[in-house]
Chains A and B, each alone.
Chain A
Amino acid sequence: MESERETPKSERILSEIRLFREREKVRDVDEPMEKMVIFRVAGELYAFPGRNVMEILPAMEISPIPGTPPCIPGLITVRGEIESVLDLRSILGLPGLSEGEGQILLARGGSIRSGVLIDSVEDVADVPLSAIFPPPSTLGGGAGEFVAGRIDMGCGNVLLLDTDRIFVLAAAP
């Protein structure tokens, strides 16, 4: 439902954040918070725990490696360092193709560090733990095993992902 105006995204975010801030003001002092990196993949909002995300990288070229499975598109160079990239969409089994300008989260899972290709980062925010709920049972498909919980952001549900599990799976085959 895009309006004819440009940058509808900023409108949406603006409204979401406003709401969120309101809540934040209330919870800010006492509540134990956890930093969350909230992002979008295939139109849906997901989150990684902030401690799992080392850096958010802008969209960049990924060099493919022969012999890697489709969920591993290839390598990137970050300040001279070679990092692998995981395609989260592929791992979650979400439809569509991760093409073009997808931002990359430099994430850590277990002992493995890797880039994770997502569509775009929505926010890096403190989330009160009380807002984190167990994963919904209605989840289906391949994404189900990676969802660690559900965050109630007021504007919608954000699925919290289990970073370790993702990486383990990726490292497995």
Chain B
Amino acid sequence: MAIEMVDSLNEGSYPRLLVFCAGSLLFGADADQIDSLDPFDPDDPPRHAVPFHQAIGLGCSPPFRFPEVCTISRGKDVCRLIIEAPEDIICADTRLLQPLPPLVAPFALRRGIWAALPGKRGILLALDPRRLATERNLWHTQGDIA
């Protein structure tokens, strides 16, 4: 069940969010930041791939059903997150996208969560992956052996 598609013809309709689940939470990662999405092969995991719930600090999480590797980069640095297969890509209407309440914002931003979109399924948390990678120190320079 994807989140209802927002009318993309409306003004200010950006950014595109890649919608996926982590546990019971719904995230929308900035799609433009994502270099690639590849199926995750447990027998041949990519180097430095981090499970998303671990990256974002969700504690325990149910096991992946259809894991995929989401690759983001910043110059030569690369970060690979293992996420549950995305359900949809939506264009978030900025009129509906709300900044986080002040009590919550500082904490959330430190995890790359910068806005929330209420919906039928619950609240979609808008995610800035690069920010997450930076805040949580997930970048790896290409060619790192460690």
Contacts and interface: CB of A to CB of B under 8 A. Distances in A.
Chain B interface helix/strand/loop/mixed:
mixed
B108 A77 contact: no
A4 interface: no
B118 A112 contact: no
B75 interface: no
A69 B102 CA distance: 14
User: Residue among B100, B111, B123 with the most chain A CB within 10 A?
Assistant: B123
Contacts of B113: 65-67
B85 interface: no
B118 A65 contact: no
Interface string B81-120: 0000000000000000010111110011011010010100
B57 A67 contact: yes
Interface residues of B, number: 20
B79 interface: no
Given A65-B108, A66-B113, A82-B118, A77 B101 contact: no
Contacts of A80: 118
Nearest to B53: A66
Given A63-B122, A66-B58, A75-B116, A83 B107 contact: no
A77 B107 contact: no
A82 B98 contact: yes
B69 interface: no
A66 B56 CA distance: 7
A97 interface: no
A43 to B, nearest CB: 26
Contact of A77 (B100, B110, B123): B123
Contacts of A171: 102-103
10 contacts: A66-B108, A67-B56, A67-B57, A67-B111, A68-B108, A75-B100, A75-B123, A77-B123, A82-B118, A84-B103
